Amino acid sequence: MQHGKYRFVVGFLAAPLTLYAVFVIWPFIQAVYYSFTDWTGLSPDFKMVGFANYQRMFEDEIFWKSLQHSVLFVVLLPLVTLSLALFFAFMINVGGRARKGAAVTGVRGSGFYKVAYFFPQVLSIAIVAVLFQFAYNPRDGALNSALSAIGLDGFQPSWLGDPDYALWAIMAVLVWSTVGFFVVLFSAGMASIPKDFYEAALLDGAGRITTFFRITLPLLWDTVQSGWIYMGILALGAEAFAVVHIMSVGPGGPDYSTSILPLYIYQSAFRDANAAYATTIGVALLVITLCFAAVVMRLGRRERLEY
């Protein structure tokens, strides 16, 4: 009987594990292999060069600039995005004043706010990037026009054309485009928390800030931790690449002030025809992503709360 059970389990898992190995594990192994070659990506001919690509990477100033910007993305984007999402979700669900028949409720118009916050998720990230590219236009863009309308004519930077502002302008777009998803995610989590917890706390004299840190955040911690990892991978992956590639000058400029690792991988492979060096940077990005996930899981580990 036990033998038949194990045979069934193995047979059931064989197909998905095989597909995972072929389409996920094997490409990782190939990337590591090609990082030790001089493959251009255009020719089937290449030779082994050992650690030459890794030595070049460690001596590459553009790589270190891109790494610095990617680390900035992976630290600040989750922090800002999740903090805003938690605040908005808390106000929408339990941040309102007591009303007749309900001691715990969201602010007035919370249904509208949910739709408004989630609206950017309906748009493609490419469309969002193009729209904000127009908004950041230094001549007739919406942002500088608004600054001029309130009397700040002396402060009208070129935004995407200014190395001091370009990276921050792009990060603001990523926050705007992703915060709505986490508002909905955290709202769903808060809706599952029994209202009795909040009502008991309010009867004991606890304020909204206390209930947030003593009830909401501890009970949502697993969701917040997962969101932090997801947001970090997004900041190191395709979504950040798309926004930087569309919005930045160059792309990656001016003066590599907006270059990030995914963009540098793309440029090395398709602009410079050096696929081997691109896979070397890709291996470094994989290691950084795994380290980020491990650090978040380790620092965020705490006793699971049941309710």
Give per-residue pLDDT as tens, 140-168: 888 888 888 887 777 788 889 889 999 99
Question: Quick one: residue 108, left, alpha or beta (phi over 0 = left, psi -120 to 50 = alpha)?
Answer: beta
In whole angstroms, what separates CA 303 from the centre of its chain?
A: 26
pLDDT at position 16: 86
Give per-residue pLDDT as tens, 69-115: 999 999 999 999 999 999 988 888 876 666 555 556 777 777 788 88
Give the residue, 206 or 139, on which the prediction is more confident. Answer: 139
What would the mean pLDDT of 12-16 be, rounded to a whole number? 83
Amino acid identity at 188: A
Give the pTM. Answer: 0.85
Which of 255, 273, 243, 301 lies closest to 77, judged by CA?
243
**1, two tokens:** 């009987």
Query: Of the given ranges (210-214, 242-246, 264-268, 303-307), which has the lowest mean pLDDT?
Result: 303-307
pLDDT tier, 199 (very low <50, low <70, confident <90, very high otherwise): confident
| CATH number for region 58-299 | 1.10.3720.10
Buried b (16+ CB within 10 A) or exposed e, 94-115: bbbeeeeeeebbbeeebeebbe
pLDDT at position 245: 92
Give per-residue pLDDT as tens, 204-224: 777 778 888 888 888 888 888
pLDDT > 80? residue 179 = yes
pLDDT tier, 242 (very low <50, low <70, confident <90, very high otherwise): very high
What would the mean pLDDT of 234-262 be, rounded to a whole number? 89
pLDDT > 60? residue 306 = no
pLDDT at position 6: 73
What would the mean pLDDT of 174-190 be, rounded to a whole number? 89
pLDDT tier, 233 (very low <50, low <70, confident <90, very high otherwise): confident
pLDDT tier, 3 (very low <50, low <70, confident <90, very high otherwise): low
pLDDT at position 4: 63
CA angle 117, 119, 120 (to 5 degrees): 95
What are the residues whose beta carbons fall under 8 Å from the beta carbon of 36, sequence distance 6 or more? 48, 49, 50, 51, 53, 276
pLDDT at position 118: 84
pLDDT at position 300: 67
pLDDT at position 72: 92
pLDDT tier, 279 (very low <50, low <70, confident <90, very high otherwise): very high
CA dist., res. 224 & res. 192, Å (int): 15
pLDDT tier, 130 (very low <50, low <70, confident <90, very high otherwise): very high
H helices of the chain, in order, are 2-20, 26-34, 52-58, 61-94, 110-122, 125-135, 142-149, 166-191, 195-203, 208-211, 217-219, 221-235, 238-247, 261-266, 275-299
Amino acid identity at 213: F
Side-chain half-sphere CA neighbours of 53 within 13 A: 26
- Tell me what the pLDDT averaged over the chain comes to: 85
What would the mean pLDDT of 36-55 be, rounded to a whole number? 88
